């Protein structure tokens, strides 16, 4: 305490110091939603009331602490870099379904492909226990039920998920109707593996070491005669498989307020991307260079706040080639400002 410092100044400094110690998570809001769905709304309510009281106290002395709490589908996919741990889905027991949980509406991660890379969405599904959640996520992914029409599944339209079994940290997926090999057979298998490993984080497993594949109940040494599936299938290298630039927020088809957050991610040289917004006529109404939290080969992320009048828009994220200045790896979502 400095001589002559008022009580108000001391309280302001204390609040600022406490805020500096807090690491906000993009999963804050979805954690509350999951706890509510799991029947623990009392604890969520106490937490929310305590947070509201803290904010009210801060406002009373002129200090406002802003925390970023994203939706469940704003989290980034599992990765191998420690710098990504803040963005990985939650693994606390409160985020997982209890044993024998009744079916309920949940948002689950599912991977799709575009231009030879993987993209992920969170999609609604009705599921109960761990195996049910994994089966639902795999079904969404392989059957290509993405919101973004640019995202596709490499699996045949007739593919079926017969069942999912869990043994320790390993997941066995039994498929049917796998048809003939797609042009990108290895990427198709990784589409499955990425989905299972991402969805496992929203079960009591917390994580999965890998996937074993069955076709019509039987092990297959080489799926489609093209991909080795004789052993445990593991997630491939993030920087080689995931899209270099990725729009996470706003979601495809979302309706947002006049001031909203654009959330992007990518594995980009020096972590520099551009965020651009076009109106319904295609005119550029926002264009900004954005620095991600990390550069390649790590996965970085960034959030930018944008204000626009009511209307329909398209948000784009991409990077500019260092060689020739060309636009590379555009990902876009259509959305509306209410």
pLDDT in tens, 57-83: 333 333 322 223 233 333 444 333 322
Which residues have CB under 8 Å from 157's CB, separation 6+? 143, 144
- The residues pairing with 272 across neighbouring beta strands, listed in sequence order, are 291
Which residues have CB under 8 Å from 328's CB, separation 6+? 244, 245, 318, 319, 320, 321
Q: How far apart are the C-alpha atoms of 75 and 109, rounded to whole Å?
A: 10
Task: Return the pLDDT at 24.
Answer: 38
Q: What is the dihedral of CA 105, 136, 241, 334, to 10 degrees?
A: -40
Identify the band that residue 239 occupies on the pLDDT scale cut at 50, 70 and 90: confident
In the chain, which segments carry CATH 2.60.40.2550? 244-337
Identify the band that residue 22 occupies on the pLDDT scale cut at 50, 70 and 90: very low
**pLDDT, tens only, 208-227:** 999 999 999 999 999 999 99
pTM assigned to the model: 0.70
Identify the band that residue 126 occupies on the pLDDT scale cut at 50, 70 and 90: confident
**Region class of 301: left (phi > 0), else alpha (psi between -120 and 50), else beta:** beta
**Region class of 177: left (phi > 0), else alpha (psi between -120 and 50), else beta:** left
Q: Are 61 and 10 in contact (CB under 8 A)?
A: no
Kindly tell me if the per-residue pLDDT of 26 is higher than 70.
Answer: no
The stretch 34-55 carries a mean pLDDT of 43
The closest alpha carbon to 208, from 131, 266, 153, belongs to 131
* CATH class of domain segment(s) 244-337: mainly beta
Kindly tell me if the per-residue pLDDT of 93 is higher than 80.
Answer: no
Kindly tell me if the per-residue pLDDT of 95 is higher than 90.
Answer: no
The stretch 296-316 carries a mean pLDDT of 96
Tokens representing 325 are 């200045």
Q: Higher confidence at residue 211 or residue 55?
A: 211
- Give per-residue burial for 115-132: e unless 16+ CB within 10 Å, then b: eebbbbbbbebebbbbbb
């Amino acid at each position: 305490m400095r001589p002559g410092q008022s009580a108000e100044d001391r309280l302001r400094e204390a609040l600022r110091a406490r805020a500096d110690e807090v690491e906000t998570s993009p999963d804050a809001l979805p954690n509350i939603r999951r706890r509510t769905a799991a029947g623990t709304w009392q604890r969520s309510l106490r937490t929310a009331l305590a947070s509201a009281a803290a904010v009210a106290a801060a406002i009373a002395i002129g200090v406002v602490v802003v925390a970023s709490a994203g939706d469940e589908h704003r989290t980034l996919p599992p990765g191998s870099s420690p710098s990504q741990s803040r963005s990985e889905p939650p693994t606390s027991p409160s985020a997982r379904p209890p044993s024998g949980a009744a079916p309920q509406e949940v948002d689950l991660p599912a991977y799709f492909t575009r231009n030879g890379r993987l993209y992920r969405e969170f999609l609604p599904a009705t599921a109960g226990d761990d195996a049910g959640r994994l089966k639902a996520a795999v079904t969404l992914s392989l059957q290509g039920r993405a919101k973004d029409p640019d995202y596709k599944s490499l699996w045949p339209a007739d593919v079926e998920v017969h069942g999912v079994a869990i043994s320790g940290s390993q997941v066995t997926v039994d498929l049917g109707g796998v048809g003939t090999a797609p042009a990108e057979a290895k990427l198709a298998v990784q589409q499955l593996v990425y989905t299972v490993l991402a969805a496992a984080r929203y079960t009591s497993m917390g994580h999965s070491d890998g996937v074993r594949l069955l076709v019509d109940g039987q092990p297959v040494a080489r799926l489609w005669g093209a991909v080795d599936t004789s052993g445990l299938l593991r997630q491939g290298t993030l920087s080689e498989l995931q899209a270099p630039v990725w729009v996470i927020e706003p979601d495809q088809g979302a309706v947002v307020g006049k001031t909203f957050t654009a959330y992007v991610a990518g594995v980009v040289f020096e972590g520099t991307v551009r965020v651009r917004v076009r109106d319904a006529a295609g005119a550029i109404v926002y264009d900004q260079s954005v620095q991600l939290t990390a550069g390649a080969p790590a996965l970085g992320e960034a959030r930018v706040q944008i204000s626009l009048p009511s209307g329909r828009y398209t948000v784009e994220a991409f990077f500019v080639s260092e060689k020739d200045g060309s636009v590379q790896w555009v990902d876009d979502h259509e959305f509306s400002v209410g």
